[in-house]
Amino acid sequence: MTQAGLDEQSKQQKFMRFYSRSRTTSGAIYAVNPTTLVSRLVVNSWFGLRLNSPNDVTFTTKIDGRRYMWFTDPQVAYLQNFGSSPQLGSYVYRFDMITSELRPVITDLLVPNGIAFDPSEKTLYVSDTAPNLPGKGTFAVYAYDLNEDALPINRRVFSISSLGIPDGIRVDKADRVWTAEGDGINVRNRQGTLLGVILGLKLCESGVISNFALTGNTVIILAQERVWRLELASSVL
């Protein structure tokens, strides 16, 4: 199983392709040149312990003058019975793009999934998507501040899905938080107030949005068997 993200802040744009763990291979992140399609391994372990199923990614450039890649690594492959026993928990990691230092920064979510920063790179949003597992998890998006060491602190609930799980997360230039949930794409202001919903049932039979991307005044939506391009009245990025 693979997923992909885009290093939008790199001067030389490249896709980050995620590989989930199988019974014989480790979960990993590869950088792929979109022109040549040449790939290279970015990270697949932490001190020799194999990653699980890298799921979503975001990048920052304003923190301490460093370029960080932040990603979620839930035990999805193992939970869905196509991966070997995990060696690491379901964590959120910070990867230094210059030094290659990998550090787990959030370790208390059950299944961390979507991840995104606000435009100032001072607020981090992460979704937890496994309330059916033992523990105190819920279908929620959590917000965090960052301390002076660029570590997430002050966790609080930002939103809870009324239907399905909060999967992909994006934050636009007006600090509105977009999340793919069971009823479609939900848009909230930075206080968590729901502003509107792009209804999933209008886009596919199941109504489930797998993921989406924002670019200019356009939303690219992955709606199961279909890909939609939605034009907005004004630019959001």
| Residue numbers in the chain where pLDDT is lower than 70 | 1-25, 83, 131-138
Tell me what pLDDT residue 209 has. Answer: 83
Pairwise CA distance, residues 166 & 113, whole Å: 8
Q: What is the pLDDT of residue 115?
A: 96
Task: Identify whether 227 is part of a domain.
Answer: no
- Check residue 8 and give its pLDDT: 46
Please classify residue 93 by burial: count the beta carbons closer than 10 Å to its beta carbon, then call 0-12 exposed, 13-18 middle and 19+ buried.
Answer: buried
The pLDDT, as a whole number, for residue 84 is 74
In whole angstroms, what is the distance from residue 198 CA to residue 16 CA? 27
- How many folded domains does the chain comprise? 1
Q: What is the pLDDT of residue 17?
A: 61
Domain harbouring 28, CATH code: 2.120.10.30
Asked if the structure places residue 25 within a domain, the reply is: yes
pLDDT tens for 17-69 read 655 555 566 789 988 887 888 888 999 999 999 999 898 999 999 888 899 99
- Output the pTM of the full model: 0.88
Scanning the chain, the segments in alpha helix (DSSP H) are 76-79
Segments forming the whole domain that contains residue 88: 2-160
Within a domain: residue 169?
no
| φ/ψ (deg, to 5) at 186 | -95, 135
**What pLDDT, on the 0 to 100 scale, is given for residue 133?**
54
| pLDDT score of 216 | 94
